[in-house]
Amino acid sequence: MTDFIQKLLQDMPDFSHFRTIEELDTSSRELAAAYPHLVTLSTVGHSTDGHPILMLRIGNGQHRALFVGCPHPNEPIGALSLEYLSKKLCEDTALLEQMDYTFYIIKEIDVDGCRLNEGWYGGPFSPDRYIRSYYRPSMLEQVEWTFPYAHKTFSFSEPIPETVAFMRAIDEAKPHFLNSMHSSDQTGTFYYVSTPLPDALCQQIIKLTHDHQLPLMIGEPEAPFMPPIQDGFYQLPELSAMYDYYESILPTGEDPAKAILMGGSSRDYAGARYHTFCLVSELSLFTDPRMEDKSETTHSYKEAMLDIAKLEGEQIAFLSKQYQSAQAFITVPTRFQRSVEDFLIGMEESRSHHVKLAESDAALSRFATVAEMFDLRLRTLWSSLCCCSMLIRMLDAQPENITLSEIRADSEKWLDQGLQELLSFFNWSMRPLRELCGVQLGSALMIMEFLRQTHESTATH
């Protein structure tokens, strides 16, 4: 790690809470007013509900970097990281000149979704408080997964307004480096990269992660077409990899395009247009020592997957019954309803995947590690509880109705019991916000410095 990156991280203040949309917007406007020679503030678009999406342009370096916070609104670490970074770049012009980058910064891209998570942004922080105020958009309302894309029989061409703003930012910046800033609420920390990095750099980032007492994710990958490169690092593929995966497992003649319920990603758009290096940083919000425990258990991985699939089936059955019972009485459409529908589809896909994998992969007869067992159970509990919480919020948005009140009471009881089970299982802790932002910014800046040096080295030969 270079001295200037180390200094930037050391100078980071303590944070007590995540910022609201109003706080972030006000801060950006004040920064542009205070440093007119360094900062340009623009509106790159408007949200679905009409809120302006602001972008800061800072400096005039030879290289270009685009940072985008809150592509998922339940993941606000990036916005806080960018709140600090934008101010630091203006206050320390020597640092800005040394880095030789022009910075394009969108602190929060899904502003409407962020508002629906602000119930937990102010702390105190805990898994149960987070889940009770949780909102995550349905796939077709997610900024990160609604970019235009075409591959073989698949075509998507209906980006949401927030994604259109993201596209404008990419087209304006033409970035050498793009960081879509995420976090993971129930796994170890990990990094998606569009191109593999040198092992020495990966080890430096792993050291940074561990130095801030964050575990790496070493459980099951998020998707079978996003393979691990090494511990903590995964390939960030084009959407075509998902298509090709479905093509390989679906019966002959079945169209893979019908299985893809989303569009392309920022990696697809920026990579195809500008050969951008793309980083998706997934920082652990809540951690548990078992996330990184590679010691063997006495349970086979196959049996663990089948047990989890059975639990998933029970969760899906309850939540589907609650939702279907309420459907006829829903008169006010909400984002929560669309998210619940999406979660139920995703949970069934996960259950089916676990069954198929357990039945087809002989290698899973081995003993599972502690991390693998923990990861399977925590992800399953977490998804069902988040779905139930959004179901309750969907019901709360409806006019008073006796049937809906009964469904809500049953759902609330199920959520309370599930949270008790979660908290008794999850030996959770949360690092200070300063530490989380430090890892997120430090990893990005280390990669940016590597890209800058590589580009300059190539240019001189």
Known catalytic residues are 282
CA nearest neighbour of 66 among 180, 153, 191: 180
State how far the Cα of 308 lies from the Cα of 347, in Å rounded to an integer.
11
Q: How would you class 398 by CB atoms within 10 Å of its CB: exposed for 0-12, middle for 13-18, buried for 19 or more?
A: middle
CA nearest neighbour of 431 among 135, 208, 118: 208
State how far the Cα of 110 lies from the Cα of 112, in Å rounded to an integer.
6
Q: How would you class 54 by CB atoms within 10 Å of its CB: exposed for 0-12, middle for 13-18, buried for 19 or more?
A: buried
C-beta neighbour count of 393 within 10 angstroms: 21
State how far the Cα of 431 lies from the Cα of 119, in Å rounded to an integer.
20
Structure tokens at 180: 């879509």
Question: Helix-strand-coil percent breakdown of the chain, rounded to 5?
Answer: 55, 15, 30
Can you list the domains of the chain with their CATH numbers?
A: 3-287+430-459 (3.40.630.10), 294-425 (no CATH)
The amino acid that residue 424 corresponds to is S
Main-chain dihedrals φ then ψ at residue 297, nearest 5 degrees:
-100, -175
Q: Say what the pLDDT of residue 461 is.
A: 52
Beta bridge partners of 104: 57, 66
State how far the Cα of 461 lies from the Cα of 456, in Å rounded to an integer.
9
Instruction: Find out whether 386 and 320 touch, Cβ atoms under 8 Å.
Output: no
C-beta neighbour count of 254 within 10 angstroms: 12
Instruction: Find out whether 435 and 14 touch, Cβ atoms under 8 Å.
Output: no
Q: Say what the pLDDT of residue 224 is.
A: 85
| DSSP secondary structure, 239-257, as one string | HHHHHHHHHHHSPTT--GG
pLDDT tens sequence for the chain (461 residues): 889 999 999 999 999 999 999 999 999 999 999 999 999 999 999 999 999 999 999 999 999 999 999 999 999 999 999 999 999 999 999 999 999 999 999 999 999 999 999 999 999 999 999 999 999 999 999 999 999 999 999 999 999 999 999 999 999 999 999 999 999 999 999 999 999 999 999 999 999 999 999 999 986 788 888 989 998 999 999 999 999 999 998 999 999 999 999 999 999 999 999 999 999 999 999 999 999 999 999 999 999 999 999 999 999 999 999 999 999 999 999 999 999 999 999 999 999 999 999 999 898 999 999 999 999 999 999 999 999 999 999 999 999 999 999 999 999 999 999 999 999 999 999 999 999 999 999 999 999 999 999 987 766 55
Structure tokens at 163: 């994604």
Q: Say what the pLDDT of residue 195 is.
A: 96
The amino acid that residue 45 corresponds to is G
Residue 290, SS3?
Answer: helix
Packing angle between helix 77-91 and helix 433-459, nearest 10 degrees?
60
State how far the Cα of 218 lies from the Cα of 301, in Å rounded to an integer.
14
Structure tokens at 40: 């340009």
State how far the Cα of 396 lies from the Cα of 229, in Å rounded to an integer.
44
Strand 101-106 and strand 63-69: the pairing is parallel
Which position has the token pair 């080295």? 457
State how far the Cα of 176 lies from the Cα of 31, in Å rounded to an integer.
25
Query: Which H or E run contains 63?
Result: strand 63-69
Instruction: Find out whether 340 and 394 touch, Cβ atoms under 8 Å.
Output: yes
pTM: 0.96
